Chains A and B, each alone.
Chain A
């Protein structure tokens, strides 16, 4: 099993080499082997006595990240969809993509996606699941951006990446929480602890995080906005990722965790509401579109909403119907995307306003489309699988579980109506799609290409799917017990028995179906009469604008904010830094009772010391207020000499000497430099700035003084300097302890301080020489 997950990835690595032969053999041929092989491998698991299989390979066991793969009914359903549709799409793409295209890239991404998607549905380890989940987002991003010279394509790619990664990160948080609370990273083991989870304080948060992940991935309202833009991808990609598989990853996630989550009534409320709204909004908006693929995109959104809603209902029928519809949707939507691709490929246009009357030119394609659209619409005919699942949807909408919350009761009353409302529009756009494209009077002359039937290779894949539609329609129980029942069982956590039959009698669901067909037909025929409604709802409002606005505001706002404080002024930076240090340090000092003042340990202060201190203070102020830079330097020198004098008084003659030399040299150097420098600029700061700056400076001085006093007053230990004085002569043979410290005891410090000076000298030398050379050159 693990091999099948990584098989596509391995082939993806060799694709660039195989791509060299693309002149002779279309790269897609090599890629086709992969999904076909995987499909054949997994098909053998179908059967009534199917038992879940698992396999474990360690990856990062010390972080509890194991490549645990677990194949149950739900995974099996998805695995077969991924590989089955994958094989058909790859076959289709061989004819769809011309050899001049960057085939290597295309198939590498496609295979990468296949691995990712298989990983998502087979992983039992939450972190591995997350890893594959992000990989699906990335490969989808690359596929949407396949024709990245188009602006729309880049826009769509980024949008899909942002929305799905946003959800992915949210899901990641949910998964971490789950793994912390249950102390396991295996989903199966989490399910066993569901009682404990339901009572945990974090349960609402976990649910929110997980559902955000699922809703974004499965394009649920209001996150659906990325899906229509994802249609910029080549059509095989749209058929595969953005209708049959990737967008169902969110559905899969909800299904996978529904044994845990469905224990809460809020799960029903949130998932049903979001699902139903998505269903209605998607189908309502689909009718408005003019691009074939855009119609299909909104249709996909609405169908995903329907499946999501059924998972939210959580009843036996609903769960079963959800599994059933996952399969059905893949068959008819997959075939319809391929049909749209054929129309585009053979006529050069996907604009339904230009198309029409294509039945005569593309009879086979049109027939395939007929089955697809009618199945999608849920037309009550015994050979259309879409009808069965729709019927079960109505059935489940009518039999919702009772709950304790008022909101639940309200939903129980409203949902059936919304279900019918959404389905009516589904019917309308299905008819619109078929009749708009294939019947009526089309403006054939204005099409970029003269339409003709597609090559066989492009017709076979949708034809196989249509055969699937019919077969499932005729013999629904063929897939029921051996296949769907296991999936439904995995979702709900209990054994389900469901018989699918075409004729139940005139039951309420059947009456709902008839209503849909009746009103739907009327609406379709008179659609030009009521189309004006779109000017009112949504009118100019659009969630896309929200997205664009958010993106644009993020940039402009961050730009404004950052420029607000990053204004390039060094004095401003220093002021901000000092203020921060002041506030925080004073706060901590206050709370930890840091300030103490102990005068018991002080020596006498002589008049001489006080007078030197006063001179130094006056000189320091003098430096600030002096306007003449030479004067400022000389006054600054006074401070330095003051310090030297203090050293003399404190019996440190060598330090005093050093300080004197340093001071003299600095002053001399400064004077030399200033000779070449322009005059000091008059301080142009406003009075307010000056006051603020002085306040900051004075406070900082106060802070340092307070810390110094306090440090002096808290001498709690004997300093190590005693050791130096004791051992200086004995161990190092030096009388002057300062010298011994410098050259021996802490010789390493001195070595590197010398290095520092060396670097400084070399740096300045380089700077001067480089500049001189520049001037010579100029």
Chain B
């Protein structure tokens, strides 16, 4: 059954390649893309169930035994994230036809989309740090292709920054892997954990750890490395923004979570540093969200404080906090995708992204309005939705470790997040009916809302049904706090 671990990577890879050859028959491509995405989701769901029942699956690629060959490690954390990724993918693939232009679809949107999923899933599943770099490249290259798709002037201007900064971080990534290899002589993560533990992360290793942190932090958009993010995330089509916002930064966070709970866990100063970074990330991110009248940009900036919350959990470094980070991670992937799709719909229907120019949307698109309000409350962590559970765990962990200041920062951030989105709700959805500014297209609105409803449904279920999901997060927390379980499952012989 160990081959199961490769399926979430292989299926989208083959799907992506397959669709290249059909790109002249758009109807077929659209249907096929939906079917394949749903199929992949079903497979991943089955794998998740299998892992839930039978424990971690490891696959030694090409039969080369660990630690020498590449291993894929599908543990509960990885598969949950892959599952969420595919959920977001489903929403995106159903949203795409109404949002993209024919040309964009024609020029391999679906191929890039599948390859992005491949890269993201691969990054979640690999147990090899060099292979992680390779999947980062797949993901980034697909994202470069997606960000320039359509090739508007602004898009190209912003994407060059995006590409340059990410190239820089890739170079730093591969160099740092080389440094690490020189010191410990391996790239297998389980063995890395073992060997770093043997020498208690002495000497240069903490410095290397910091470099890894920066590689991932640039991707995760932590303070003060996120300058590239907001503008480049709003430049492409909403469906691309949603995929980026939901997935890319989260891969960075996942990498930090994995590497700093498995390998580099021996220097408490690192954790202290993470907590500070978390606080600054939250504050500066949310200040950014308040600084603009561009509704897409508000959402893009809101990625940053959420990332701060997650890094806080990694910094607090106890079981509750880690469970909180995992819960928040899943929650945030779903809600960010939903919000990007929602504002994308608003911007499309209103013909502008300036919130001062939109009013009275509620009269024409009540469903859109209520979904937006719901999403706002989910994001701000109002109970009983998914954001609340993660936040509760993180704040609990923070107060239990006597970190009052960071908790207060977290609360202020939640408050400002709410304000930043309420500005959009009150300005764009409330107010007098505006009949002149835009033409009402209820048909289009309906197509936009269905994928959003799907995502928000899960946000609500993750909150109200937390009794079902929290034990999973809790066991992941326990699992991550005991790295020997991971090491044993990879290097069992």
Interface set of A (CB-CB < 8 Å, partner B): 58-63, 65, 127, 130-131, 134, 138, 145, 148-149, 154, 157-158, 161-162, 165-166, 169-170, 172-173, 176-177, 179-180, 205, 554-555, 557-563, 565-566, 568, 570, 573-574, 576-577, 580-581, 584-585, 588-589, 591-596, 704, 707-708, 710-712, 714-721, 723-724, 727, 744-749, 752-753, 755-756, 759-760, 762-763, 765-767, 769-771, 773-774
Contact = CB atoms under 8 A, between A and B. Distances in A.
Contact of B396 (A59, A176, A574, A595): A176
A574 B165 CA distance: 7
A704 B178 CA distance: 12
Contacts, number: 289
B13 A176 contact: no
Given A560-B291, A749-B131, 6 more contacts: A180-B400, A592-B267, A593-B203, A752-B137, A759-B112, A765-B107
Contacts of A589: 204, 206-207, 210
Contacts of A723: 68
Given A176-B396, A594-B206, A720-B67, A770 B227 contact: no
A707 B195 contact: no
Given A60-B467, A158-B422, A749-B130, A766 B225 contact: no
A176 B399 contact: yes
B185 interface: yes
Given A158-B426, A561-B291, A718 B185 contact: yes
Contacts of B160: 570
Contacts of A711: 178-180, 182-183, 204, 208
Contact of B227 (A180, A577, A715, A749): A577
Interface in B404-421: 404, 407-408, 411, 414-416, 418-419
B467 A61 contact: yes
A566 B227 contact: yes
A555 B185 contact: no
B227 A63 contact: no
Contacts of A58: 467
B392 A581 contact: no
Contacts of B351: none
A723 B362 CA distance: 66
Contacts of B130: 746, 749
Contact of B470 (A60, A559, A561): A60
Contacts of B151: 767, 770-771, 774
Contacts of B103: 770, 773
A559 B288 CA distance: 7
Given A63-B392, A180-B396, A580-B225, A762 B179 contact: no
For A149, A562, A765, the residue with the greatest tally of chain B CB atoms inside 10 Å of its CB is A562
Given A138-B377, A559-B292, A762-B20, A585 B211 contact: yes
Interface in B135-193: 135, 137-138, 141-142, 144-145, 148-151, 160-161, 164-165, 168, 175, 178-188, 191
A208 B142 CA distance: 51
Contacts of A65: 466
Contact of A707 (B141, B150, B211, B228): B211
A703 to B, nearest CB: 9
Contacts of A718: 185
Chain A: interface secondary structure? helix
Contact of A63 (B204, B231, B389, B407): B389
Contacts of B31: none
B207 A585 contact: yes
Contact of B144 (A166, A581, A753, A763): A763
B62 to A, nearest CB: 5
Contacts of B144: 759-760, 763
Contacts of B343: none
A592 B207 contact: yes
A712 B135 contact: no
B383 interface: yes
B392 A176 contact: yes
B184 A717 contact: yes
Interface in B211-263: 211, 214, 218, 224-225, 227-228, 230-231
18 contacts: A63-B392, A169-B411, A180-B400, A205-B404, A562-B287, A580-B224, A585-B214, A594-B203, A711-B183, A711-B208, A712-B182, A720-B67, A724-B68, A749-B131, A759-B112, A760-B144, A763-B148, A767-B148
A715 B62 contact: no
Contacts of B53: none
A774 B118 CA distance: 31
3 smallest CB-CB distances across A and B, nearest first, come from A763-B145, A719-B185, A766-B107
Given A563-B291, A594-B204, A715 B183 contact: yes
A63 B466 contact: yes
A759 B142 contact: yes
A555 B395 contact: no
A715 B182 contact: yes
B272 to A, nearest CB: 11
B204 A595 contact: yes
A526 to B, nearest CB: 44
B377 to A, nearest CB: 7
Given A173-B411, A555-B290, A748 B62 contact: yes
B211 A766 contact: no
B188 A576 contact: no
Nearest to A723: B68
A62 B178 CA distance: 44
Given A592-B203, A723-B68, A749 B134 contact: yes
A771 B150 CA distance: 8
A166 B225 CA distance: 29
A343 to B, nearest CB: 27
B188 A720 contact: yes
Contacts of B383: 127, 130-131, 134
A710 B187 CA distance: 18
Given A161-B422, A747-B62, A134 B70 contact: no
Nearest to B72: A748
Given A131-B384, A759-B142, A770-B103, A562 B392 contact: no
B108 A766 contact: yes
Contacts of B360: 149
Interface string B372-400: 00000100001110001100110110011
A636 B161 CA distance: 22
Contacts of A720: 67-68, 185-188, 191
Nearest to B465: A60
Contacts of A771: 151
A180 B399 contact: yes
Contact of B112 (A162, A584, A763): A763
Contact of A588 (B181, B184, B191, B207): B207
A708 B289 CA distance: 39
A755 B115 contact: yes
A694 B207 CA distance: 23
For B61, B64, B187, the residue with the greatest tally of chain A CB atoms inside 10 Å of its CB is B64
Given A584-B273, A752-B135, A565 B291 contact: no
A134 B431 CA distance: 24
B467 A59 contact: yes
B264 to A, nearest CB: 11
For B135, B160, B183, B291, the residue with the greatest tally of chain A CB atoms inside 10 Å of its CB is B291
A766 B145 contact: yes
Contacts of B466: 60, 63, 65
Contacts of A712: 182
Nearest to A755: B138
B474 interface: yes
B69 interface: yes
Given A149-B431, A576-B224, A169 B68 contact: no
A707 B179 contact: yes
A566 B183 contact: no
B28 interface: no
B411 A759 contact: no
A747 B134 CA distance: 12
Nearest to B430: A148
